[in-house]
Amino acid sequence: MRKVLIVCSIVLAGTLSGCLNPSGGTVPDRCESFTPTIRSSNDTLRILTYNIYALSDEVVKEFTNQTGYQVEFIRTDDAGGILDLMMLTKDAPQVDLMIGLDNSYVGIALKNCLLQSHQANTSSIDASFEQGSFAAEDSLVPVDHGYVCINYDNQYADGENVSIPTSLENFTEDIWKGKVAFPSAATSSPGRAFMLATTDYFEGDGEWDWWAAMKANEAIFTSGWTEAYEIRYSGGYGQWYDGFIGDAHATISYCHSPGVEAFFGGNWTTSVALDLPRASFHQIEYSGIINGAANIDAANAFIEYLISEEVNRDMPTNNYMYGVLQGADLPETDGYRFHSLVPDEPANLNLAELDIEALVRQWQNSTS
Amino acid sequence: MLSRVLRTLVISTYALMILAPVVIAIDRLWAVTGVAPWQAFGLLGDLAVADGVLLFTCLVSVTASLLTLALGLPLAIVLAKYEWKNIALIRAILVLPFVCPAIVAAMGFLVLFDAGGPLNYVGIDLYQQSGIIGTISATLGFANVGHFIALSLALCWFNLSLVIRFIEPTLANMNPDWEDQLKLLPQGKSLWQRIRHLYAPILAPGIIASAGLTFVFSFTSFALVRWLAPSADTLETLMADYGGSAGIYGYRIMSSEIVLASSMVQIVILGSALWLVSHMQSLHQSRIAIVAESFRRKQQGKAKLRHRAILVCGVVFAVLPLLLTIISSFKMRVVENGQVSTEWTTQGWSIAWRGDLSYAGAGEALGYSLVYAALTLVIAMPLGWMMAATIHSLEKEGKLVRAKIVDFISFAPLIVSAVMAGLGILLGIIMWFPELFAWFLLPVWAHIMMVTPFVVRVMLPALRSMDERYIEQAKILRLNQFQRFRLITLPSLKGPVIVASALCLAFSLGEFGATWVLARTGDWTTLSVLVDDLMSRPNYFPGVRPAAMASATILMSLTLALFFISEKFRDSKDTGGF
């Protein structure tokens, strides 16, 4: 009788906040009818992520030592790749946990019922993450964050021969002709983030004209951030890169990328982040348990490990992103913090409401 | 009856293993996009992201083919006409680029073209386009012409062996009396007339076949485009970029449209090219049969200085990128007080081996590469051999049309690209065996797809040239089928079997495109993926480049060792092209 009561209470609890899925996790009511096949697991936690440098072998070994859970990874190129694989294996998920899907992609994952609620203790996370587009989602745990904005080379835009841009419209002028590299909003996460920022900057009126004007001004469009930043951008570490062209003096990257440049360049960089109101995007990367995960306890344990002091405090030096813990900041070593910009007024968008895929299609039409 | 059943079984197995993944992928893309494959060609013109991609792919493939002929023909001619010391070694050096993994070639050419590289030193700046390249770019109005030149040169380097392999044996074995006799006739007075009436009819099929194959391999090149022309897209890189989100119902339909349209265009263009190649190869074989005397070299005597110069240039061109890769593995950048200098060190090797800058060390990656190569050999070798035997037996029975069809099917994996093959396996696996999604042996399937056609290409001419009288005599001696195979067939085909096996291992070790697609679903890094992985790391770390070059050197050493073993067993009259 007691067992029946316990089961009933669990089911009741599930129905109040959502529904129990076949793997024992909880999903929102609207996802009740979606029942993915649970893979047979050998108790190894399988994590889907991008090339996240914070998760080194040592970090993972330490997790295994602490918890006893074995871990294996499936690594994609970027956040878009994570979503692609989640969508591809939607009906029969092959991973337990995803790490690295950011707020420009996560809406699609939620809409497709790809995630379930977590039970991890997240009290160490900074209170600022309790606000924003997906703050109410109990299936998402922020793991790192950063701002995406225009970076420019101050050896070109030196304020004397070439003025420092004060608006996005400045980039449509002749002086910037063929000298701005944009990673594609369709295939690059920072590219997508900046495209979203422009919709707020122009308040939904004129952003596509601006993109078309940039195209007309011979802006360079690349498929990924790597080509835009490492091959085209003159102000970054691309000079060490084989095949470096360096014909772009402005590109899209993180507002703390100049800080990373300085950190690795002995407190020296020519790259500067441009602080234009509502022309930057606050990108938050999440972890979340896959709806249909086979190892939920291990996944919860790994989330707690990710937001622990020992792992999350090192995000700026291991993953080149801000950590999410209370009081987290960038190190001051070699000008990392000094050269990093925190935008005064990032774009304010309700990402949960936006049809981002439709915006990407519009972006493609404007830039082709 | 039994042989018919066996044939059907062989062809079915081949079709299931090699063709099914691609058919599944296309079917899935059809279902997702609602566009039938035969209607997909028009999509490519409608998709803005694909604008100019087909043109660029064709342009670079045609340029590479012409350049390969321009550089390869003089080499094949001087190699065939004159006496050379250590000719086997020279020939081996000239053809070794073909077995060199594409990612290694890409690394070698990156060093050749980079800011401190030899070309830059003589004023040819292919990347930042200063000097003469900048002038060419401005004159032609062609953006990034340097990338185009870099890619074309690398593709030419890669395929040089095809021209040499097709042309050199034909010329070397041609009776020089024919030319002397023709000189006496009115139609053979001038060199041009002799080219027209003697050389062209004999060499044209080989020239067209080698140019066609160069076009095919250039059209589907992935690693070279990815690294040498990062500003450009070919159909292959476009599919790789969008392939990850293709084939998913209700999700980013445009990606599925891009992949479907690109793959259909690729199938038609490469199918036509390979049909031409196949036809030309048959003509080439018949030409070879009538020029089987080999005393040309002795009659022509020693080479003159200009002939030696041609050969020396060819050898330098063949080995330079490989040497530069090795050298670069010991060079590390040092920046002190803003001054950049170079340090000679073995740190790159340590970093690569320990995996300090990658998820897997070179040792682990080597392990995966060897396991994949061994398993590929175990499956692809018998499968390719059986397929070749099926074609040969159909030919012997006079069923030439059927033989031609099966021959064409054996070529089919080359019609689809490595990226498409990987994608096909991925979608097929998801559909039928989702549990295998993260199985570490998954890339082996793709390797078998990409390697088996080469086994067929090596084994088929060998089977054709086998003296059937031995088999007949063995039958008279009442040897059973197994005894005939063990005592006659196997020893007769020992050379080609070793060549095919070595190629199988070498191509599997160097396979990049399909592994790159599939490795993203798992944590299995092969050496070729490791090189790419390391080179993709932020170049803040001075160790990135030497570590990548060290990994490339390990991969190169393995494949080249296999290549030299295969060359030892290769018949000097081998005209198979591979």
Q: pLDDT at residue B570 above 80?
A: no
Between chains, do A237 and B128 touch, taking CB under 8 Å as contact? no
Q: What are the C-alpha distances in Å from A306 to residues A92, A127, B359, B484, B528?
A: 26, 17, 18, 65, 31
Q: Which phi and psi (to 5°) does residue B446 adopt? A: -65, -40
B167-198 residue pLDDT tens: 888 888 777 777 788 888 888 888 888 888 88
Task: Read off the pLDDT band of B50 (50, 70, 90).
Answer: confident
Task: Read off the pLDDT band of B572 (50, 70, 90).
Answer: low
For B357, the closest chain A residue by CA position comes to A53
Determine the 3-state secondary structure of A322 from DSSP. Answer: strand
B364-392 residue pLDDT tens: 999 999 999 999 999 999 999 999 999 99
The mean per-residue pLDDT over the stretch B438-450 comes to 85
- Tell me what percent of the residues of chain A surpass a pLDDT of 90: 61
Sequence-distant (6+) residues with CB within 8 A of B423 are B25, B239, B243, B246, B247, B259, B517
User: CA dihedral in degrees (A237, A239, A242, A246; nearest 10)?
Assistant: 110
What does chain A come to in residues?
A: 368
Residues of chain A with Cβ-Cβ distance to B230 below 8 Å are 227, 231, 243
Residues of chain B with Cβ-Cβ distance to A95 below 8 Å are 438
Contact between A238 and B541 under an 8 Å Cβ cutoff? The reply is: no
Determine the 3-state secondary structure of B344 from DSSP. Answer: strand
Task: Read off the pLDDT band of B257 (50, 70, 90).
Answer: very high
- Tell me what percent of the residues of chain A surpass a pLDDT of 70: 92
Q: Which residues of B191-205 are buried (b: 16+ CB within 10 A; e: fewer)?
A: eeebeeebbeebbeb
Q: pLDDT at residue A336 above 50?
A: yes
Minimal Cα–Cα distance from B477 to chain A, Å? Answer: 57
* pLDDT for the residue A9: 47
Strand (E) positions, chain A? 19-20, 26-27, 44-50, 70-76, 97-102, 115-116, 141-153, 180-183, 220-222, 250-254, 271-273, 281-290, 322-323
Tell me whether A40 touches chain B (CB under 8 Å): yes
> What does the block give as tokens for B292?
């089987």
Minimal Cα–Cα distance from B52 to chain A, Å? Answer: 11
What does the DSSP 8-state code read for residue B122?
T
The mean per-residue pLDDT over the stretch A80-90 comes to 89
Q: Which phi and psi (to 5°) does residue B523 adopt? A: -110, 35
Which of residues 235 through 274 in chain A touch B, CB cutoff 8 A?
Answer: 237-238, 240-247, 260-261, 264-266, 268
B520-529 residue pLDDT tens: 655 678 899 8
Question: Best mutation site among A47, A240, A263 for testing chain B: the one with the most B CBs within 10 Å?
Answer: A240
SS3 letters across A108-137 = HHHHCCCEECCCCCCCCECHHHHCCCCCCC
Between chains, do A364 and B228 touch, taking CB under 8 Å as contact? no
- Tell me what percent of the residues of chain B surpass a pLDDT of 70: 94
Which residue of A81, A240, A243 is in closest CB contact with B110? Answer: A243
Which residue of B244, B437, B539 is in closest CB contact with A81? Answer: B244
Task: Read off the pLDDT band of B62 (50, 70, 90).
Answer: very high
Residues of chain A with Cβ-Cβ distance to B247 below 8 Å are 88
Between chains, do A364 and B114 touch, taking CB under 8 Å as contact? no
Between chains, do A368 and B114 touch, taking CB under 8 Å as contact? no
Between chains, do A72 and B536 touch, taking CB under 8 Å as contact? no
Contact between B351 and B357 under an 8 Å Cβ cutoff? The reply is: yes
Exposure on the CB side of residue B12, measured as CA atoms within 13 A:
6
B133-155 residue pLDDT tens: 888 888 887 777 888 999 999 99
Between chains, do B545 and A265 touch, taking CB under 8 Å as contact? no
Between chains, do A260 and B540 touch, taking CB under 8 Å as contact? yes
Which stretch of A221-235, B286-300, B328-342 has the lowest confidence by average pLDDT? Answer: B286-300
B209-256 residue pLDDT tens: 999 999 999 998 988 998 888 878 899 998 888 888 888 888 888 889
Between chains, do A368 and B49 touch, taking CB under 8 Å as contact? yes
Bigger pLDDT: B132 or A272? Answer: A272
Determine the 3-state secondary structure of B104 from DSSP. Answer: helix
The mean per-residue pLDDT over the stretch B442-457 comes to 89
* pLDDT for the residue A35: 84
Total beta-carbon pairs less than 8 A apart between chain A and chain B: 130
Between chains, do A243 and B114 touch, taking CB under 8 Å as contact? yes
Please give the distance of CA B538 from its chain centroid, rounded to a whole number. Answer: 30
For B111, the closest chain A residue by CA position comes to A242
> Residue B241 and residue B235: Cα distance in Å, rounded?
10
* pLDDT for the residue B478: 84
Tell me whether A190 touches chain B (CB under 8 Å): no
Between chains, do B245 and A87 touch, taking CB under 8 Å as contact? yes
For A32-76, the DSSP string reads: TT--PPPPP--SEEEEEEES-TTS-HHHHHHHHHHH--EEEEEEE
> Residue B528 and residue B531: Cα distance in Å, rounded?
5
> Residue B250 and residue B243: Cα distance in Å, rounded?
15
Tell me whether A368 touches chain B (CB under 8 Å): yes
Average per-residue pLDDT for chain B: 85
Question: Best mutation site among A242, A264, A333 for testing chain B: the one with the most B CBs within 10 Å?
Answer: A242
Beta bridge partners of A181: A220, A251
Which stretch of B8-17, B380-389, B417-426 has the lowest confidence by average pLDDT? Answer: B417-426
Between chains, do B252 and A357 touch, taking CB under 8 Å as contact? yes
Which stretch of A322-326, B177-181, B307-311 has the lowest confidence by average pLDDT? Answer: B177-181
Tell me whether A41 touches chain B (CB under 8 Å): no
For A87, the closest chain B residue by CA position comes to B248
Q: What are the C-alpha distances in Å from B188 to residues B77, B177, B193?
A: 19, 13, 5
* pLDDT for the residue A177: 95
Q: pLDDT at residue B540 above 80?
A: no
Between chains, do B49 and A186 touch, taking CB under 8 Å as contact? yes
> What does the block give as tokens for B234?
């070919």
> What does the block give as tokens for A365?
């039409």
Q: pLDDT at residue B286 above 90?
A: no
Q: What are the C-alpha distances in Å from A293 to residues A60, A81, A96, A118?
A: 19, 19, 4, 11
For A74, the closest chain B residue by CA position comes to B522
* pLDDT for the residue A11: 41
Q: pLDDT at residue A344 above 80?
A: yes
